[in-house]
Structure 1
């Protein structure tokens, strides 16, 4: 039976590259904070600059404006995904970096997505195997011990709560994009960012509409290009090749990259128990990213099963 997912290996590669890109959010956001930029301004400008970049790409091709106009009709589904994946993630995650260390926030963001993984299995009817259950248990236990350990030692409960809300929003975005069966086109990605800019403009204007300084622009530009553009686009590309739950769990390897960058640039390390919890989450991601074993198509496609049986009979006759 032919798989409905074109290339599992390519999908896993996209998800892993998205995790690498998203792992830079913490250090780049902290760099912007050090230049006197508030969290609402960082969230708004990183999304706004990314929208400007994708606008150039879309409009560069002939008929770009017409394609955007056509895609806008009935784009409420993209707006829902943007509310989850852009507003909820950007607003709460960026704020969490002000209350907790970068590695802790990064890991909690993905530990908070377990509820959405359950939705993938229950609603999207994605097949449950022993390996999948084991992977999710590893992620759950890692997140639990991280909250119970480093969450109470190195960061405030405010930071933990904000990170978990951001994680639930991001994981729900992955589920919603797959549930709505949205295409990973540049036009849809433009609308995704455009809706996000509009939503993020509300807290940005409410907080005083801070204008970034020249020193903060490099950090904001890198935030826009690496996690906002490359990270999100690789995520929606991954969803075209692998299951939504698998994309979520593979991207839970982001804390590894985030912790590495935080240690190199800011000297922030997790405690011993935090490192063990992080390894449990990453182990769950690695187990999930392994290709599924393909069995004999004895169910669902009778013609394929008959063809396989005929092939075996011919091989046996040749041996005789």
Structure 2
């Protein structure tokens, strides 16, 4: 498969799976750090088992660990733990908005340090999905009485949750940014390192603040292990593959698809309502996330039918 096509495909599936976090977490009676730790551990076990089966485990000995490899895993683990915990101490809107500042951070960092150029098309698509995300999670809302309003609020009561939300956003952005380093490492090996160092980082947090499993029952354990497999091993392994083949801005655009999936599950499973403005936000997110892919395909087909007009594509 073409590297770009592989990157886009794996990122779309990863974002879709990540959008199911709320569906799983609402059925698990434990703290966010335990959920994040389980995702890391299950992911590490699964990817290591696959590497042993494929005879690739010996490759790990030849890989030189660098700060970027270690840091990307640590940032991934901490951002997931901080995000789930943030939803317990602040409003869901604040938590979601703050973690999704991450793709914006990563795009800016990649442009500065990795010299990744952001085309006008990519910038416009990223702007569209960011605005759409604000519509979906209710930061920007509309009523006939007040018109368009911004509902993001910070208070002393939500200070802990908002701080955790900001940490999750910074961690997410740093993870996406550091994932763009060392693309020479295979995706399976990089996934294993991400899972392992993410689990170690969360385990250190356990020493400082020991978790409690007193409220966990059989159903909660089933949901927790399932979440570790699908949204830990599945989603995060695919995200690692996508990060190897896509630029930070391209990753950012498609990552916002998660908010559409989350909103859709809220409607279908939890009977949550959807406003017209949220529906418009969904269209912006899907259109912005998929727009560059579609335009790329159209231009490539046009060039294949008219080879003489072949010119370098102005896309990122």
Determine if contact 2:104/2:252 at 8 Å carries over to the other structure: no
Q: Deviations over 1:119-154 (max 9, x none)?
A: 22333333332212212322444456643545449x
Matches of 2:95 and 2:274, distance apart in 1: 11
When the two chains are superposed, the root-mean-square deviation of aligned CA atoms in Å is 3.4
1:19 to 10, 15, 27: 15
Q: Unaligned 5+ residue runs, structure 1?
A: 298-306, 312-320
Determine if contact 2:94/2:153 at 8 Å carries over to the other structure: no
In the other structure, the counterpart of 1:48 is: 41
In the other structure, the counterpart of 1:93 is: 83
Alignment CA distance shift 1:255-1:237 (3 Å): same
In the other structure, the counterpart of 1:173 is: 175
Say if 2:115 is the partner of 1:120: no
In the other structure, the counterpart of 1:67 is: 59
SS at structure 2 position matched to 1:82: helix
Q: Deviations over 1:249-271 (max 9, x none)?
A: 11211101111123333334465
Q: Unaligned 5+ residue runs, structure 2?
A: 141-149, 311-316
Structure number, greater radius of gyration = 1
2:225 to 221, 227, 235: 221
Q: Deviations over 1:45-94 (max 9, x none)?
A: 22222222223222334462x333333x424321110122222x211111
Matches of 1:266 and 1:100, distance apart in 2: 20
Alignment CA distance shift 1:213-1:55 (3 Å): farther
In the other structure, the counterpart of 2:31 is: 38
Matches of 1:182 and 1:169, distance apart in 2: 23
SS at structure 1 position matched to 2:262: helix
Matches of 1:118 and 1:288, distance apart in 2: 19
Aligned residues: 290
In the other structure, the counterpart of 1:240 is: 244
Alignment CA distance shift 1:97-1:117 (3 Å): same
Determine if contact 2:41/2:199 at 8 Å carries over to the other structure: yes
Q: What is the CA distance between 1:22 and its match in structure 2?
A: 0.7
